[in-house]
Chain A
Amino acid sequence: MLLEVTDLLKRFGGLKAVDGVSFAVDRGEILGLIGPNGSGKSTVMNLIMGVLKPDSGSILLDSREIGGRSPNRIAGHGVSMVFQHSRPLHQQTVLQNLYLALLPNRLFNFRLSPDIDSRAHDALKLVGLEHFAGRKPSELPFAGLRRLELAKSLVRKPSLLLLDEPFAGLSASEMEEFSDLIRQLRSDERAIILVDHNVKGVRALVDRIVAMSSGQKIADDLPDHVLASPRVREVYLGRGDEAVFRRPHSPAPDAPSALKVEHVSVRYGEAIALDDVSLSVPRGEVTAVVGLNGAGKTSLFNAICGIVPASGTVEYEGRTPRARRAYEIARSGVVLCPETRELFTDMTVQENLGIGGNALAAAEKRRQTEFVESLFPRLAERRKQFARTLSGGEQQQLAIARALMMKPSILLIDEPTLGLAPIIFDAISNVIETLRESGELSLFLAEQNLTFALRHADLIHVMEHGKIKWSGPAGEFDAGSALIA
C-alpha cells in the first residue's frame, strides 16, 4: 500500500473532528472521500498533508510514518495537495507560477535550471493551459485557475495527489471536462484521493469510496455499494419513514406568491454559486429548498436577502424594489435566519431578542417577546444567560426567536436542524407548525435533511450545482432519485 491511515484522531477543543479513521490507498487507485459538511473529510486531508497535526494514530506513506511532520517535509516525500481556494502569484505569468512549483527548496538559488521551462510547458499542456503560458492568472477563467493549481501539483510528480473539492464552483460542463482530466491522471505511479460532499459527482470517476460522518468512517467500498448502503442513505437523506410525514396538501398553482425569484445568479469572483434560478414561495405556506451542501441553497437565501450581490430580480409581496440593501430588506419584513446563526454571543438571551425587536415600540416589543418566549420556553428560562453559554440547539432556537422578533412576513431559515439533537429537532418542528397555523407568515426553509423538509413543506425545490433541478408539491417528490442516484 502507498498510504495507510490507522486510527487517526484529531480533536478541536471538545469536538472529535476525526475519530479513529482507518483506510488505505494504493498506487493506480482513485479514492473518493465523501461526507456531508462537518464530517471530517477535509480534516483528514489536512492531517495527511501535515497542515494539521494528528492527536493520535498513524499515517504511513510507503511504510514510513509521516503523521505530524511539517507540510514541506511531507511534500518532499511525494505528497501534493490542490486546495479548493488557491492564491496564485498575481504579478507573475501562469508559466512563472509553474516555475515556482518546480523550484528546489534551496536558499542560494539564483538561476533556473535549464529543463525547468520544458517541464513547465509539458504540465501546462497536460492540463490544457498551454495557450495561457504568458498570461497573468487574473486573466484565467475560474476553471482555469483550478487547472493551474493542478498543474502546480503535477509538476512535482507526486506519488499521492490530494484534491480538495475539485469541482466546487464549476459549472456542469466544466465539471465534466475536469473529471476527464483527472481520469487521465490515473497512473501506476500514483494514487489520487479526492474529497467531495457530492456522491453523484464522483461515482463515475473513483474506484472506491470512503464515506464519513461525524468524524467516523461509515463505509469503504465500491461506489455502487456505498450508495446502496443504508447508513450512507441515512446520513444523506435523514432517518425515518418519509411517507408518514409527507403532507397531503398541495398548494393551489395560482396561489399568490410572497416571494418571486426570477433569473437570479450569484458569482463569487469567477465561481458560479447560483445559476439562473427562478422559483416562487407561496404566501402563508411552508416552502423548502433541498439539496446537498454546496448546491447553492445558502447563496440563494443570501441573494434574496441582499447579503451578496446578485443579478436577476426578486419580487417581495408583489413589489420589485430597486437597489435595496440588506438591512432595508430585513426591515421590510423579509428576514433571514442563517445557518451560521450570527448571534451576539457576549450578550444575554434577552438582549439578543431586544436587538431583534429594535424597531418595535416598547409595548409591542413586550408583546412580541412574550409571544416568542411562549414558542421557546427554554429561552424564557435562560433569559439572563449569555448566548455563548447556550447549547447548540438553544442557540438555534435563539436565532429563530431573534428573527421572529422582527415580525417578519417572510421568514427564511437556512438549515434549521443541522447538527441538532432529536429533542431540539422536535421543538423546532413544533414551532414551525405553530407558525404555519398562525397563517401570518410565509416560511422558506433550506434543508439537507429530507425528513425534516418533507414533514413541513407544501412545496419543494431541489437544487443541485446552483440550479433548480426539480420543483413541485411535496406529495409528488421522490427522494432517492432526486438526491443520490
Chain B
Amino acid sequence: MTVPRSDRSDTGPWPYIVAAIVVCLLAAVPFLGVNAYLLSILTLGLFFAVFAMCWDLLFGYAGEPNFGATFLIGTGAYTAALLSSNGLASPAVCIVAGAIAAVVAGVLLALPALRLRGPYFGLVTLVATLILRQVIILFSDYTGGEIGIAVPDIITISSTLNFYIALGAAVLTALVLRLLVNSPFGLVLEAIGQDPLNARVLGFEITKYKVSAFCVSAFFSGLAGALMVFYLGTASTNVFVDASVGVQVIIAAIVGGRRTIVGPAIGGVFLIAAAQYLHPLGSLSEMGVAVVALVILLFLPGGLLGATRLFRKAR
C-alpha cells in the first residue's frame, strides 16, 4: 500500500529544491560584499514577505479578504514597543508578548468573519485598522501619537545579524504555513473557503477552523511586526497601523501569486525592492510600482508565480 500524501503539488520535488537554493543564496548574501543599504532593503522586504504570507493564509485558503493586515501587525508592534519603552521587559519578552497580543487581535478580527460575507468582512477589517490608528492617536501621551515611540533596546546593531533575523522569520513562517496548508487542516480550511455550506455538510465545524487560521496568521504577523520595531528602533502609525500599508500587503500577495504562500513572499520582497530601485524617480517611483502591480493584477491574475506556471505549460 502506498503511503498517502496530502501534498498537492504534482510537479515533483523541484519547487522544494528551488526554494532551498533560494534560501541558501539569500543566506549567502551578506558574504557577497553587498553594501549595508541593500541589506537593509532586503531585511525590510523579508519582513514584508511574512506579512504577505500571513495574508495569503486568510484570503487564499480561508477565503477571507482581510484589508486590515496592519491591525494585526500594528497590535504586535505597538505591544512590543510599549513594553520596551516603559522598561517593562527585555526585547525577547517584548517580541513574544507582541505575537501573543496579535493573536488576541486575530480572535477579535475573526468574530465578524463568522458573521459577515466576503466584501462586508473586508470593510470591517479596513475600519478596524482606522479605529486602531485613531486610538493610538487618542492616547498619544503613551503612544507618541503620529510621531511614534522610540524603543530604547535593540537586539543587535549588526545589519548582517538583523538580516538573518528577518530571513529566519520569513523561512520559519514559510515552512510552518506551507506545512499547515498541505496538512489535513489546510485541506479543510480550503474547503471552507471555497464552499462553507458543503464543508459543514461534510461534518466540519467551521468556526474553530476559521478562528485558528486567524490566530496563526496573527501570530506570525505580530511576531514580524515586533521584530521590525526593534530593527527600526521606533513604532509609528505610518509604518505599522496604516490602511495603505495593509493594501501594500495585499498587493504584494496578489502580485506574487495568491494561494501559494511562497508567491506572496516573493511579492513582498519584490515590492519593497522595486520601490527602492525606482527611488531616484522621486514621486514617480511609487507610481511606477503601482503601474507594474496593476498590470500584473489585470493581466496575470495568477501573479508572478502563476506566470512561471503558464510558462511551464507553454513549454
Q: How far is the CA of A83 from the CA of B200 in the complex (A)?
A: 13
Q: Which residues of B contact A70 (CB under 8 A)?
A: 200, 205
Pick the residue among A75, A110, A114 that contacts B185 (CB under 8 A). Answer: A110
Contact A100 B200 (CB under 8 A): no
Contact A72 B194 (CB under 8 A): no
Identity of the chain A residue whose Cβ is nearest the Cβ of B187 in the assembled complex: A100
Q: How far is the CA of A83 from the CA of B180 in the complex (A)?
A: 29
**Interface flag for B184 (CB, 8 Å):** yes
Binds B, one of A91-99, A231-239, A241-249: A91-99
Would A80 and B4 be within 8 Å (CB), given that A100-B188, A109-B183, A110-B179 are in contact? Answer: no
**Interface flag for A185 (CB, 8 Å):** no
The tally of residues in B whose CB lies under 8 Å from a CB in A reads 31
Pick the residue among A96, A101, A111, A117 that contacts B2 (CB under 8 A). Answer: A117
Pick the residue among B4, B187, B209 that contacts A92 (CB under 8 A). Answer: B187
Q: Which residues of A contact B28 (CB under 8 A)?
A: none
Contact B201 A71 (CB under 8 A): yes
Q: How far is the CA of A111 from the CA of B194 in the complex (A)?
A: 22
Q: Separation in Å of the A340 CB from the closest CB of chain B?
A: 23
Would A89 and B6 be within 8 Å (CB), given that A110-B183, A156-B203 are in contact? Answer: no
List residues of A (129-154) whose CB comes within 8 Å of B's CBs: 134, 152
The tally of residues in A whose CB lies under 8 Å from a CB in B reads 36
Q: How far is the CA of A117 from the CA of B203 in the complex (A)?
A: 19
**Interface flag for B157 (CB, 8 Å):** no
**Interface flag for B272 (CB, 8 Å):** no
Contact with B along A71-113 (1 / 0, CB 8 A): 1100110001101001101111100100111010101111110
Identity of the chain B residue whose Cβ is nearest the Cβ of A70 in the assembled complex: B200
Contact B201 A51 (CB under 8 A): yes
Identity of the chain A residue whose Cβ is nearest the Cβ of B212 in the assembled complex: A107
**Interface flag for B198 (CB, 8 Å):** yes
Contact A96 B6 (CB under 8 A): yes
Contact A116 B212 (CB under 8 A): no
Secondary structure at the B interface, as helix, strand, loop or mixed, is: helix
Contact A103 B195 (CB under 8 A): no
Pick the residue among A91, A111, A117 that contacts B190 (CB under 8 A). Answer: A91
Q: Which residues of B contact A81 (CB under 8 A)?
A: 201
**Interface flag for A49 (CB, 8 Å):** yes
Contact with A along B1-42 (1 / 0, CB 8 A): 111101010100000000000000000000000000000000
Q: Separation in Å of the A140 CB from the closest CB of chain B?
A: 16
Contact B184 A112 (CB under 8 A): yes
Q: Separation in Å of the A467 CB from the closest CB of chain B?
A: 31
Identity of the chain A residue whose Cβ is nearest the Cβ of B204 in the assembled complex: A105
**Interface flag for A118 (CB, 8 Å):** yes
Contact B8 A92 (CB under 8 A): yes
Q: Which residues of A contact B185 (CB under 8 A)?
A: 107-110
Q: How far is the CA of A81 from the CA of B201 in the complex (A)?
A: 7
Q: Which residues of B contact A110 (CB under 8 A)?
A: 179-180, 183-185
Contact A96 B8 (CB under 8 A): yes
Give the 7 A-B residue pairs with the shortest CB-CB distance, closest first: A75-B203, A117-B4, A71-B200, A110-B183, A87-B195, A72-B200, A112-B4
Given contacts A80-B201, A114-B3, 17 further A-B contacts (CB under 8 A): A72-B202, A75-B202, A87-B195, A91-B190, A92-B187, A96-B6, A99-B6, A100-B188, A103-B184, A103-B188, A107-B185, A108-B185, A111-B184, A117-B1, A117-B2, A152-B202, A156-B203
The residues of A with any CB-CB pair to B shorter than 8 Å are 49, 51, 70-72, 75-76, 80-81, 83, 86-87, 89-93, 96, 99-101, 103, 105, 107-112, 114, 116-118, 134, 152, 156
Q: List 28 A-B contacts (CB under 8 A).
A: A49-B201, A51-B197, A51-B201, A70-B200, A71-B197, A71-B201, A72-B205, A75-B200, A87-B198, A89-B190, A91-B190, A92-B8, A96-B8, A100-B191, A100-B202, A103-B184, A103-B188, A105-B204, A108-B185, A109-B184, A110-B180, A110-B184, A110-B185, A111-B184, A114-B3, A117-B4, A118-B1, A134-B10
